Amino acid sequence: MHTQSRIPKLQETTFDGALLWFSEMQCGNLLFHPEDDPADIIRISNGERLFSSSEVKELRFLLNELEEGIGHEKVIEAAYPIFMTACGIQLDA
């Protein structure tokens, strides 16, 4: 049986593509910091891993694609406004 991935597709390896991807991850309640290994992400509510082994492989691949496309710092920069919004922090326009 093949299950559909919960991980959104990365449309393009650009800054805007990364911004959109992180936003889609947040909408799916799957957002995590890109410097953290997805295999180490645990749900606070039940102590279980957030991502399956196949999702971890997929996420590592996608993050690598982003880093090769726009660089490590730009990946972090793209994730930043999504994290701040998720935390309820209003950013200056």
3-class SS of residue 33 = coil
Report the alpha-carbon distance of residue 3 to residue 33 in Å, rounded: 25
Q: How many other C-beta atoms are found inside a 10 Å radius of the C-beta of residue 27?
A: 11
Report the alpha-carbon distance of residue 2 to residue 46 in Å, rounded: 25
Report the alpha-carbon distance of residue 62 to residue 36 in Å, rounded: 14
pLDDT digit string (tens) for 14-28? 999 999 999 999 999
pTM: 0.90
Which two structure tokens, joined as six digits, stand for 48? Answer: 């279980």
Which residue ranges make up each domain of the chain? Answer: 15-86
pLDDT, tens digit only, all 93 positions of the chain:
567 889 999 999 999 999 999 999 999 999 999 999 999 999 999 999 999 999 999 999 999 999 999 999 999 999 999 999 988 888 776
